[in-house]
Chains A and B, each alone.
Chain A
């Protein structure tokens, strides 16, 4: 497809388990973002990549959260030793990074993580 895809769409984990969430950005998009959306809230920024470089990880809530984009395309968000408060929808977005003013972020459908 032409849009941002994420997998899995749903993930149920027991507290303490590690999880890995995948994002496939739009082909050719340089920038990639991860957001966390708690129930009834707006998305909150987690981290940002430009190609393979992680330029901003200020939004990651703890050192249990780790993101990578080793080849500048697909990205993985990993959460270690999951806690119940990690339950949320994790959204990925990508943008072309036009030097002009059309740097629109296109969002994927999200992965809904439920930690029991």
Chain B
């Protein structure tokens, strides 16, 4: 099935560094979402974006909905050990009011070296 192009596939960084990952699609989405998944758990929503050009922050996390509606990025500032995990972008055709299935990227595996 269709998946979003997410990069990088993995990141090895030092604690305290900033992190940036992005997601692109050949199709337009009306909602972009960023999830984090820990081993043995389901994805947990970090940030939701509903409007092209929107920039949203959640603590040390900042995400933007690309103006073309075909891309999004996620930044994590001053990384800490608990940020380790797999980050997924997801696109949704609906604008949040409807309920349709999400299209996910393949994930960015974040590894933090102390």
Which A residues form the contact surface with B (CB < 8 A)? 4, 30-31, 33, 35, 40-46, 48, 50, 56, 59, 91, 93, 95, 97-110
CB neighbors of A among B72-102 (8 A):
88, 90, 94-102
Number of interface residues of B (CB under 8 A): 29
Q: Cβ of B102 and Cβ of A105 under 8 Å apart?
A: yes
B43 touches A43 (CB 8 A): yes
Known pairs A42-B3, A42-B6, A101-B50 / 8 extra A-B pairs, C-beta < 8 Å? A35-B101, A42-B105, A45-B101, A50-B99, A95-B99, A103-B98, A105-B45, A110-B42
The answer to whether A101 touches B107 (Cβ under 8 A) is no
Contact of B42 among A4, A59, A98, A100 (CB under 8 A): A4
CB neighbours of B50 from chain A (8 A): 101
From B44, B96, B104, A101 is in contact (CB under 8 Å) with B96
Contacts of A105 in B (CB 8 A): 45, 102
Q: Flag if A104 contacts B48 (CB, 8 Å).
A: yes
B40 in the interface (beta carbon within 8 A):
yes
Task: Give which listed residue, B1, B42, B107, contacts A93 with CB less than 8 A.
Answer: B42
Q: What residues make up the interface of B, taking CB atoms closer than 8 Å to A?
A: 1, 3-4, 6, 35, 40-45, 48, 50, 88, 90, 94-107
A30 to B97, CA, bound (A): 13
The answer for the CA separation of A99 and B102 in the assembled complex, in Å, is: 17
Please give me the residue from chain A that is nearest to B38 by CB atom. A109
CB <8 Å contact, B104 and A44: yes
Chain A residue numbers with a CB within 8 Å of B96 are 98, 100-103
| Inter-subunit contact A104/B45 (CB<8 Å) | yes
Identify B107's interface contact among A42, A48, A99, A110, CB under 8 A.
A42
Q: How far is the CA of A59 from the CA of B102 in the complex (A)?
A: 11
Q: List 27 A-B contacts (CB under 8 A).
A: A30-B99, A33-B99, A33-B101, A35-B101, A35-B102, A40-B106, A42-B3, A42-B4, A42-B105, A43-B102, A44-B1, A45-B101, A45-B102, A46-B101, A48-B99, A50-B99, A59-B101, A95-B99, A100-B96, A103-B94, A103-B98, A103-B99, A105-B102, A106-B45, A108-B42, A109-B42, A110-B40
